[in-house]
Amino acid sequence: MTRPPPIGVRLGIDPGDARIGVATSDPHGILATPVETVKRGPGDLDRIAALAEELGADVVYLGLPRSLSGGEGPAAGRVREFAQELAARLAPRQLRLVDERLTTVTAEAVLRERGKKGRKRRAVVDQAAAVVILQGAIDTERTAGSPVGEPVDPL
């Protein structure tokens, strides 16, 4: 029997080297929708923390880039460092790392199917990838009945 998922808004984060895609869910954890793209650099953690507050997020899912074999490379190390800094800003909210393999590829394909081209697609692909990350997490959550992924402790 499937247990109901925890109630509350979730955020999905697709951390890139230049931009960070942000998505949110409805309070019942059914549907992920895009929010915005945050420019990477000074103030990015503050903006994400502000969005979590504004949207009333209880859990934040952050995509962890892994290789197709499941290993972690330098990009995953950078995301883990970012995650610890972000967890400190988000406390007491939960921050959890979830596998993001192929999310950008999936997001690009969806945007292409919807007719988004070139510069317009690049402008929203990070948000679309965040939607893919978050939708995967909340779908898995619904089956598990609890938050999924690896919890991140603040620094």
Please write the tens of the pLDDT for every residue from 136-150. Answer: 999 998 888 888 999
What is the 8-class DSSP label of residue 17?
S
Single out the residue of 85, 98, 70, 102 nearest to residue 153, CA to CA: 85
Give the 3-state secondary structure of 95-150. EEEEECCCHHHHHHHHHHHCCCCHHHHHHHHHHHHHHHHHHHHHHHHHHHCCCCCE
Decide if 128 contacts 111 (C-beta within 8 A): yes
| Higher pLDDT among residues 64 and 125, named by residue | 64
Domains along the sequence of the chain with CATH: 9-146 (3.30.420.140)
Tokens 């409805």, residue located: 26
| Higher pLDDT among residues 115 and 77, named by residue | 77
pLDDT tier, 100 (very low <50, low <70, confident <90, very high otherwise): confident
Tell me the C-alpha distance between 58 and 151, whole Å. Answer: 13
pLDDT tier, 2 (very low <50, low <70, confident <90, very high otherwise): very low
Neighbours of 100 (CB within 10 A): 25
Residue-wise pLDDT for 21-65, tens only, equals 999 999 998 999 999 999 999 999 999 999 999 999 999 999 999
Residue 1 pLDDT exceeds 50: no
**Per-chain mean pLDDT for the chain:** 85
pLDDT tier, 108 (very low <50, low <70, confident <90, very high otherwise): low
> Which of 66-75, 85-94, 131-140 is predicted with the least confidence, judged by mean pLDDT?
66-75
